[in-house]
Amino acid sequence: MTERSDTKKWGPRTNAVRAGTNRAFQETSEGLFLTSGYAYDSPDQAAARFAGEDKGYIYSRFSNPTVEMFENRLAAIEGAEWCMAAATGMAAVSSVFMCHLKPGDHIVSSRALFGSCRYVADDLCSRFNIEADFIDGTDLDAWKRAVRPETKLFFLETPSNPGLEVMDVQAIADIAHNCGAKLLVDNVFATPILQHPFELGADLVVYSATKHMDGQGRVMGGAILGNDVEWRDEFLRPFMRNTGPSLSPFNAWVLLKSLETLDLRVRAMAQNALEVAEALSPHIGHPLARVLYPFRHDHKQVDIAKRQMEGGGTVVTLDFAGDDETAQDRAFQFLRALELIDVSNNLGDAKSLATHNRTTTHHRLTEEARREQGITPGMVRVSIGLEDTADLMTDLNGALASVR
């Protein structure tokens, strides 16, 4: 088994291929332990294991060797004390909310959120008498103003989906800590490769492993990472063990192998995305109103993005010009004309994918909530993959030229 002392001195790329490995037969590839249960030598051993006196596995809802390898590897890449895997990104997000908060507590959240995150922080929490304020996450004073004595959690996603707003994690962490709240960062868009929220003061980080970690469109998964072991043992672990959002060992195995190439894939995709974002400039004016990308010179928070990210991410968002109806019509014309890039609502995949967020990922929100989040009828999110940028640009230029 790789030792914790090794993973702490290794670089992230070594950790990506080595950390967490626990060999049963000196196998080179990590073992897939597709098992729900475990047998004991004796009833005495079973009793000792349940009492926590004997180390070992009990049931795969609690823990599993393959899932544990994934957790240990991701924790090492992130530089976090611990990681708990979850069945999906949303299982990870909702577990943090549900284990940490109780009736009467208050949340401050950026309003630019993934649709399902908004459901958890808003609809679900309000049913348990947990109030939330949704603010413009790029406005530091808005975070300060929203704080109440009952504030227990700050939540943000940066860059945000699909508007790619960038929030100053360090400054927001300071505000959270001044009022005794924890800062939870959804780091899906930035990935553990391009942004390190713990170094910026975050308390908890969540991922949808479905996105860049798998990155090849196969499995769902999620993860929660943190440094506070007591909090994990008191709140998160009992919640996850007893409510059951555990990651399947098969999915954990796929994700474990995917982590080996995460750095290579994400950096290559981010390089492609930067090239595409720059090369789309001639279309600004017609048919596009804007090209959004955190590392473009005209992005509103480009300075913060360059300070806290090692790359601008793998998503480029297009915003078509025109009144609402015209803009949405143009977005649809563009999507219909794409020949290489797929129309699909996933992201972080090796294959480039494009989606019209207003009518797909964010269709459940009211128009007002979408406007608040900056989601316009003309917005198309393009997740840039690993194809040749020349081919991507041929497809994008062709589709844009066909828009009337």
Ligand X SMILES: *Cc1c(COP(=O)(O)O)cnc(C)c1O
Residues lying near ligand X in the complex (CB under 6 A): 88-90, 114, 116-117, 157, 161, 186, 188-189, 208, 210-211, 220, 222
All residues at 6 or more sequence positions from 217 whose CB lies less than 8 Å from its CB, including other chains = 346, 349, 350, 351
For 57-81, letters b (16+ CB in 10 Å) and e give ebebeebbbbbbbbbbbbbbbbbbe
- Structure-token match 């098969």, residue found: 250
Least distance to ligand X from the beta carbon of 157, Å? 5
Q: Cα–Cα–Cα angle for 343, 347, 353, nearest 5°? A: 25
Asked whether 73 and 20 are in contact (CB, 8 A), the reply is yes
Least separation in angstroms between CB 231 and ligand X:
21
Quote the CA–CA distance of 28 and 392 in Å, as a whole number. Answer: 36
Nearer to ligand X among residue 95 and residue 272 (C-beta): 95
Q: How far is the CB of 222 from ligand X (least distance, A)?
A: 5
d(CA 227, CA 404): 52
Q: 2 or 355: whose CB is closer to ligand X?
A: 355
Phi, psi (degrees; rounded to nearest 5) at 343: -85, 105
272 vs 357 by CB, closer to ligand X: 357
Short-list 64, 115, 59, 344, CA closest to 217: 344
Q: Between 117 and 380, whose beta carbon lies closer to ligand X?
A: 117
Q: Which is nearer to ligand X, 157 or 168 (CB)?
A: 157
Least separation in angstroms between CB 186 and ligand X: 5
Three-state DSSP class for 152?
strand
**Closer by beta carbon to ligand X, 247 or else 289:** 247
Cα distance between residue 402 and residue 404, in whole Å: 6
**Mutual orientation of helices 389-401 and 262-279 as an angle, nearest 10°?**
40
Q: Provide, rounded to whole angstroms, the least separation between the CB of residue 115 and ligand X.
A: 9
Cβ closest to ligand X, residue 85 vs residue 147: 85
Position closest to ligand X via CB: 89
Three-state DSSP at 156 gives: strand
Which residue lies nearer to ligand X by CB, 138 or 161?
Answer: 161
CB of 300 vs ligand X, minimal distance in Å: 19
What minimum distance in Å lies between the beta carbon of 1 and ligand X? 28
Closest CB to ligand X among 125 and 288? 125
Q: Which is nearer to ligand X, 156 or 399 (CB)?
A: 156
CB of 242 to ligand X, least distance (A): 20
182 touches 308 (CB < 8 A): no
Min. distance of Cβ 352 from ligand X in angstroms? Answer: 16
**Cis-peptide into 65, omega within 30 deg:** no
Cis peptide before 287 (omega within 30 of 0): yes
Strand partners, 342: 353
Question: Could you tell me where the DSSP H helices lie in 87-139?
Answer: 89-100, 115-119, 125-127
Exposed/middle/buried for residue 52 (C-beta within 10 Å: 0-12, 13-18, 19+): exposed
Q: How far is the CB of 88 from ligand X (least distance, A)?
A: 3
305 and 270 in contact (C-beta within 8 Å)?
no
Is residue 383 within 8 Å of residue 314, measured between CB atoms? yes
Q: What is the largest CA-CA distance in the chain?
A: 75
